[in-house]
A and B are shown apart, each in its own frame.
Chain A
Amino acid sequence: MTAVREWKEAHPGAKAVGAFPVYVPTELIQAAGALPVSLFGGGGSVEISHADSRIQSFVCSISRSTLELGLRGYLDVLDGMVFPSICDVARNLSGIWSRNFPNRLVEFLHLPQNRDSPSAIAYAVAEYRRFLTALEKLTGRTVRAEDLAGAIAEHNEEREAVVALLELRRTTPWLLDAWEGGLLLRAGGVMERGEHARLLLRSVAAAKERNRKVQDRVRVLVLGAFCEQPPLELVRTIEEAGCYVLEDDLLLGLRWFKEPVVADGDPLRALAEAYVTASPPSSVSHYRGPPKQNLLVQRVKDLGAAGVLFCTAKFCEPALYDQVLYKERLEAAGIPYVHVEFEEKMTTFDNVRTQVETFVESILFE
């Protein structure tokens, strides 16, 4: 939060709005002149003391640690919080937040789940407008179409940079580790989009200059870390155990759209329409395309990957339900997989290492 504080000092009077993970239309926050801040929880360093009196223990770490940070005052620098549709825990957390921080802006965005419906776009537009009005009230600024178009353009820029990073990782994974990529993506959580885009592109260019040899590692996909992020050390352990992670869903919300959002005409509508028509398959929203598990198998084949590593947050319901269908399909297709659960406060990764090494060996010696 130091970075956020510094930004606020550099922009007197401006507000900062925290966004809970996966996809939030942060363009709206930016257009209103506020800084969107991505939340990653307390990591391993925060001891849960106050949160237990507000939320039960059988939920993911990020919801508990974020609440703990809030109750201890570490998030006072945020003037508002927005929770998108992810799961029941995140949704109810918005209610807990409202009661405990009555003087801050707290919003829950009901992102449409019936995206097949012809009325979904109109609804998304209404939701976004509602959110935007609340933001305008918070910042005291009226958002004009140009402001929104500008924010969209900057977000497009960032997404393009993310795509470039992902492509580098997919085609030459030895030049940039998955954990490094994760770190670079997370860095964007507390900076402006344009700045993040530049950081990513610089990093991609620098990575290309690296003198690293290709190693004999097993190529895998890592799936399940779309919301609460795994400790970076965990990702590193997976890689060091003998894997090249070609593709993952770390910080999925940052690369929610594959194509740039075209903002001519009505930018708000364009953004809402993009959500309804161009969202990728994910565990956090109902997807109407071909079954996700079939898409996964296809992706594994297209990338020439040897297996899939499910890396999910402990107690993450959406991931746990989808896993059953993914695993069934992978088994039918004869694609090896392994499942690793993580929590924020993990400090030792030896078990994970052993698990992944065993998985790697079983693939290599097939």
Chain B
Amino acid sequence: MMAATQPVAATAEDAGKALQKQLLAEYYHSLSDEGRDGRKVAYLFVPGNVVELTQCFDMLPVYPEINALQCGIKKVAGDNILRAENLGYSSDVCGYVKNDIGLMLADRQSPFGQLPKPDLLVCNFSGCNTFVKWFEALAHFYGAELFVLDVPYLRERSPSREDVQYVTAQLEELAAVCERVTGVSFDRQRLRGVLEQSAEAERRWVEVLHTAKAHPSPFDAYFEAVFYMAPLNILRGTEGCAEYYRLLLEDLRSRVQEGRGPVPEEKFRVVIEGPPPWPHFRSFWELFKRWGVCSVASTYSKVGGLFDQGIFHDPSRPFESIAEYAMNSYTNWNLGLRLDLLRRYLKEYEADALVIHSVKSCRSFSVGQADFRDALTRGEGIPTLMVESDLADPRYYSEAQLKNRIDAFFESLAHRRLVGG
């Protein structure tokens, strides 16, 4: 079904975009010297973050990973990375970390203004050991207090009782630290309220994700999802965030009604695994668009939480649900669980193929992707394309090579379809 004569829900789409813009502008303003208004700053990682808790202490959250991807998009990550390498960071370590160190060396001047220093580093290390090294370095350079929230790796589908107990006990300890750092008393009732907002946004987000089951999908579940998920990662727990997803859902539902999608004609539906090449985001997307490819599910959009697997924050079980949420971030799932998720996405979203974008920086994501490919192509006959570059370092991107592989892959899929296969 091609485009209708007049998009009915231009309002919801525009309203959603405007709200996101407004919310993010307010967020960055709150981080500025005047906007902060004496509030303390907590640095957090996106996977398994505990922003609901820090929010109760009026702490402003800063996410170095998000700073890194923004710098990638705005083409300044390269400079930051070089600064970090001059300081002694190897070319073989994570580009996100180097971008952050480089940012620090540039007095935290980012494309969004100067970022504040951390008052507390909350290393919620879920699914990535490098996070510990990252914040140990920041603790050293800033002389800031560091709390390492140890989040056990998920070996089974559900965390064990001991896993949950360990994390909830640490959350109590963290609450005490936050009290001390901010001088604000811990209000459990307030936490419940914040969790309520989070849960609302999360449920709507899941419905947003499910709209991609439509043919054609109303949005690209990778290239667009990584922007749609921003409020959930940066502003979770706020009213504005929940409202944004209400608008987004309305917008997407109208697109489904009208049969509107991100490409003129949806020819191939794919699941995409791995982070995007931020410094070359647009050109990478173009390589797929020209083949009429639309992503219907992705895993990078789940680093902030596997909500679509039924893991939501729950005001009736505050610390338990935060603990469960923290353990259920995509890279904290073991490889068997990840592979199984890929299979389910391929089936549930009726995808034609899997695309793996493997990034040099991130071992957590990348180590094992070749094994996924082996399992799916040779074991199960699922067409899988694997391409490589990096998520932050602009130097590792070779357009000619990527284009060759992407073209070859979709050529062969197209040809097989034609000859009836």
A–B: direct contact at CB < 8 Å:
yes
Q: Could you tell me the distance in whole angstroms from the C-beta of B406 to the nearest C-beta in chain A?
A: 19
Complex: chain A residue closest to B374, CB-CB: A53
B152 contacts partner chain A, Cβ-Cβ < 8 Å: yes
Q: Which residues of A contact B370 (CB under 8 A)?
A: 52-56
Chain A residues positioned under 8 Å from B128 (CB to CB): 88
CB–CB B92/A99 < 8 A: no
**A59, B152: Cβ atoms under 8 Å?**
no
Residue from B90, B129, B148, B388 in contact with A320 in the complex, judged by beta carbons closer than 8 Å = B90
**Beta-carbon nearest neighbor of A322 in chain B:** B133
**A88 to B129 Cα, complex, angstroms:** 6
Selecting from A112-120, A143-151, A254-262, the interface stretch reads A112-120
Q: B222 at the A/B interface (Cβ < 8 Å)? A: no
Partner of A93, one of B94, B134, B367: B367
Question: What 1/0 flags go to A318-334 for Cβ under 8 Å of B?
Answer: 10111111011000000
Q: How far is the CA of A126 from the CA of B155 in the complex (A)?
A: 14
Known: A59-B367, A93-B367. 17 other contacts (CB 8 A): A54-B374, A56-B358, A87-B363, A96-B368, A112-B166, A114-B150, A117-B166, A120-B150, A120-B166, A317-B92, A317-B94, A317-B363, A320-B89, A320-B90, A321-B89, A321-B97, A324-B137
CA distance A317 to B134 in the complex (A): 11
A46-86 interface bits toward B, Cβ cutoff 8 Å, 1 = contact, 0 = none: 00000011111011000100000000000000000000011
Question: Would A92 and B148 count as touching, CB distance under 8 A?
Answer: no
Identify which of B165, B368, B374 contacts A95 (C-beta below 8 A). Answer: B368
Complex partner residue of A56 from B136, B170, B369, CB under 8 angstroms = B369
A123–B335 CB distance below 8 A:
no
Known: A96-B335, A113-B148. A55 touches B89 (CB 8 A): no
Q: How far is the CB of B148 from chain A (nearest CB, A)?
A: 5
Q: Which of chain B's residues 388-409 have a Cβ closer than 8 Å to chain A?
A: 388
Contact assessment for A286 and B336 in the assembled complex, using a CB-CB cutoff below 8 Å: no
Cβ < 8 Å to B, chain A residues 124-158: 126-127, 130
CB contact under 8 A between A286 and B334, given known A88-B130, A108-B153 = no
Query: Are B149 and A321 closer than 8 Å at their CB atoms?
Result: no
- A44 close to chain B: CB less than 8 A: no
22 pairs from A and B in contact (CB 8 Å cutoff): A55-B371, A56-B358, A58-B363, A59-B367, A88-B130, A88-B364, A92-B363, A95-B335, A98-B336, A99-B336, A99-B371, A113-B132, A117-B173, A118-B173, A119-B166, A120-B166, A122-B162, A122-B165, A126-B162, A126-B166, A321-B137, A323-B88
Contact A324 B88 (CB under 8 A): yes
For A286, the chain B residues whose CB sits under 8 A away are: 132, 136, 148
Residue ranges of A at the interface with B (Cβ–Cβ < 8 Å): 52-56, 58-59, 63, 85-89, 91-96, 98-100, 108, 110, 112-114, 117-120, 122-123, 126-127, 130, 286, 291, 314-315, 317-318, 320-325, 327-328
- Residue contact B368 to A119, C-beta cutoff 8 Å: no
B219 at interface, CB cutoff 8 A: no
Among B160, B169, B373, find the residue whose CB has the most chain A CB atoms closer than 10 A. B169
Q: How far is the CB of A283 from chain B (nearest CB, A)?
A: 8
Q: A108-B155, A117-B150 are in contact. Are A88 and B363 (CB under 8 A)?
A: yes
The residues of B that contact A291 with a CB separation of less than 8 Å are 140
Which chain B residues lie closer than 8 Å to A95 at the CB level? 334-336, 338, 368, 371
